[in-house]
Amino acid sequence: MFKNFFKKFDSKKRFVVSGLVPILTLFTLIYTYPIFSAFFISLTDRKLLSEDKSFILFDNYIKVFYDAVFQKSLINTLYFVAAYLFLTIFLGLGLALFLKSLKKLYQTILQVILFLPVVTVTVAAALIWKWMYVPSFGVYNYLLDFLNIGPLKFLKSSGTVMPSIIIMTIWKWLGVNVVIFLAGLQSIPDQYYEAAKIDGAGPFSLFTHITLPMIKPTMEYVFITTILAAMQVFTEVFMLTAGGPGIASRVVAYHIYEVGFKFLKIGEASAAAFILFAFILLMTIFQFRVFRREELY
Amino acid sequence: MIVENPKNLLKIVLKILFFAIIAFVWLLPFWWMFITAFKTQGEILQYPPTMYPQEWTIQSFIDVFTKVPLFTFFKNSIIVSFAVTIVAVFTSTIGGYIFAKFKFKGKNFYFLSILSTIMVPLTVIIIPLYIMTISVGLKNSLLALIIPGWVSALGIFLVRNYLYAIPNSYIEAARIDGCSEFMIYVRIILPLLKPVISAIFIFIFMANWDSFFWPLIVIDETSKRTLPIGLGLYTQGFGVQSWNMIMAATLLSILPILVVFIFLQRYFIKGIALTGLKE
């Protein structure tokens, strides 16, 4: 009896230890150690592939913060995040509502269409759009001509380059949030709407009083994943403009890539990365407060 | 179809119109890529552009095949994506199961530490990871692309949430029957997790198939490049106006995954939807 009990206890413990140790080791090697190491590097003037370093405390942070190129990268990143977040939620929820009103077959067709760019490699998607955006022979100027707009220079002018990148990114990824919003909408029981309709609620108040509160968890998820991804936007910028013209579309991730891996100044690059990290944490905390505020009362 | 109410008719017309506009905007880039790949060099530099090739040619595809080792890029991408995903699904299910169904010291601390790694931007850890990779001699090795993907905080989180709702009696019954802990995981937990596993599989696979920043810096041998960097860097060498060749290379690199997607679209879409439905 006792022998059995200990055997059982042991096998459980053995399972937990042998399952968890490799997982925690990997997380430590891939995340924990690099975070501390990066912070350490950000306090030095170390160059990539060299061991020589001296501690300069927060000099890198001060330098980065007053660097006009970094400032522009940060402003562009925040602009990208704000515009992208607004568009992905507005269009994502709008299209999800539209999809919900369609018959199953049309719903599936449109979902598949919206998902085609999602399964397309970002580099390939960016190449297609780069070609479409070409001012002289590209298809967009040709089509805009019918609407009496343009010709625009898209990626070639500092005035239009950021919106052009944002539009391409929306096209690429919108399908994800549409599908997530649709799943959220479909999880709302129909009885809620029926009951409210009997009480005389119009479509607008159905939306604000039932739909929005019911999809709050979904909204929160979309917010947080979008902010995380958009703050780190890299591939689209690298492929479409490499930060150009000049530094008009440079974002923080691209700045870190160039400073760290081309100019080899990893101290400065790490400092820039931690400033980005700080902004991500601030936005997340802010977002949690906004979403949780109502629950406090 | 006879519509008696004119207001309903208007509604239907607007719906069709809206549907058509979205479909047009979303499909146009694919159409444009497709026809550009089949156009002659002269035709792509014409204004106004033609929406349909005047003269179909497969010259661009021949050029791409002779100049770009697309097959190598494909092979590398497939090796990396599968080697990451299979291990990550294993660690996610076992980790999620342990956090959902076992009691041990420091459980919350470990779980929250793992979960908080979701917030860490790649740009913060990429420099130390690069230095580590070089010091263990894995630069230009596919292993450098594979190992960092072996654990997924989101995967563990999804599995744990899913198993939370499942009663312990299943597991207890198996224990009483004398099933070993590992066999319980294999025989009872894994089958229960089927929908979550397909979701995790799809999002981890897609993320790795598309991975760019890390492979860009850690791989600089052509024979070790994955599809995204191979395509991205090779097309830069084509000459600025060779859009027909660039589009041919693009078409070839996205075609296989698009075909897979069309056949498995239900699983792709369900999988992504599931990641958003958290408690």
Query: B194-243 pLDDT, tens per residue?
Result: 889 998 999 899 999 999 999 999 998 889 999 999 998 888 777 667 88
pLDDT value of position A288: 81
Query: Residues of A239-266 as b/e, b for ≥16 C-beta within 10 angstroms?
Result: bbbebeeebbbbbbbbbbbbbbbeeebb
* Residue B256 falls in which region: left (phi positive, over 0), alpha (psi -120 to 50) or beta: alpha
| Nearest chain A residue to B125, by CA | A34
Contact between A114 and B22 using a beta-carbon 8 Å cutoff: yes
Residue matched to tokens 């696979």: B205
| Nearest chain A residue to B182, by CA | A15
Contact between B29 and A270 using a beta-carbon 8 Å cutoff: no
**Tens of pLDDT, residues B52-101:** 888 888 888 998 888 888 899 999 999 999 999 999 999 999 999 999 99
CA B72 to chain centre: 19
**Candidate from A20, A33, A128 with C-beta closest to B33:** A128
If one looks up domain B70-236 in CATH, what number appears? 1.10.3720.10
pLDDT value of position B233: 86
Does B1 have pLDDT greater than 70? Answer: no
| Structure tokens given for A264 | 């080899």
For residue A196, give how far its alpha carbon lies from the nearest alpha carbon of chain B (Å).
Answer: 22
**Candidate from B124, B128, B212 with C-beta closest to A274:** B124
Q: What is the mean pLDDT of chain B?
A: 89
pLDDT value of position A295: 53
Mutate which of B12, B80, B125, B246 to disrupt the A interface (most A C-beta within 10 Å)? B125
Neighboring chain B residues of A13 at a CB cutoff of 8 Å: 104
CA A70 to chain centre: 20
Neighboring chain B residues of A171 at a CB cutoff of 8 Å: 25-26, 29
**Candidate from B30, B113, B228 with C-beta closest to A121:** B228
Residue ranges in chain A assigned as alpha helix (H) = 2-27, 33-42, 59-66, 68-100, 104-115, 122-132, 139-146, 161-186, 190-198, 203-206, 212-214, 216-231, 235-240, 252-257, 266-296
Distance CA B39, CA A16 (A): 60
With a CB-CB cutoff of 8 Å, which residues 134-163 of chain A face chain B?
134, 136-139, 142
Mutate which of A39, A123, A221 to disrupt the B interface (most B C-beta within 10 Å)? A123
Q: For chain A, what is the radius of gyration of the CA atoms?
A: 25
Contact between B231 and A121 using a beta-carbon 8 Å cutoff: yes
In chain B, what are the domain boundaries? 1-67+239-271, 70-236
User: Strand pairing partners for A55?
Assistant: A44
Contact between A32 and B113 using a beta-carbon 8 Å cutoff: yes
Selection from B187, B207, B186, B214 nearest residue B275 by Cα: B207
How do the pLDDT tens digits run along chain A, 297 residues long? 455 555 556 788 888 999 999 999 999 999 999 999 999 999 988 888 777 777 887 888 999 999 999 999 999 999 999 999 999 999 999 999 999 989 899 999 999 999 999 999 999 999 999 999 988 888 888 888 888 887 888 998 888 999 999 999 999 999 999 999 999 998 888 888 888 888 888 888 888 888 888 888 889 889 999 999 999 999 999 999 998 899 999 999 999 999 999 999 999 999 999 999 999 999 988 888 887 765 544
CB B63 within 8 A of CB B41: no
Contact between A106 and B19 using a beta-carbon 8 Å cutoff: yes
What is the DSSP code (8-state) at residue A188?
Answer: S
- pLDDT band of residue B279 (cuts 50, 70, 90) is very low
Q: Hey, is the C-beta of A113 within 8 angstroms of any chain B C-beta? A: yes
Q: Hey, is the C-beta of A184 within 8 angstroms of any chain B C-beta? A: yes
Residue matched to tokens 């590209």: A138
Distance CA B128, CA B217 (A): 13
pLDDT value of position A294: 58
CB A214 within 8 A of CB A192: yes
Mutate which of A131, A223, A258, A268 to disrupt the B interface (most B C-beta within 10 Å)? A131
A178 burial type by CB count under 10 A (0-12 exposed, 13-18 middle, 19+ buried): buried
- pLDDT band of residue B2 (cuts 50, 70, 90) is low
pLDDT value of position A297: 41
The predicted model scores a pTM of 0.91
For residue B60, give how far its alpha carbon lies from the nearest alpha carbon of chain A (Å).
Answer: 15
What is the CATH class of A59-296? mainly alpha
Mean pLDDT of B28-54: 88
What backbone torsions phi and psi does residue A47 show, to the nearest 5 degrees? -100, 150
Q: Hey, is the C-beta of B274 within 8 angstroms of any chain A C-beta? A: yes
In chain A, what are the domain boundaries? 59-296
Distance CA A235, CA A145 (A): 30
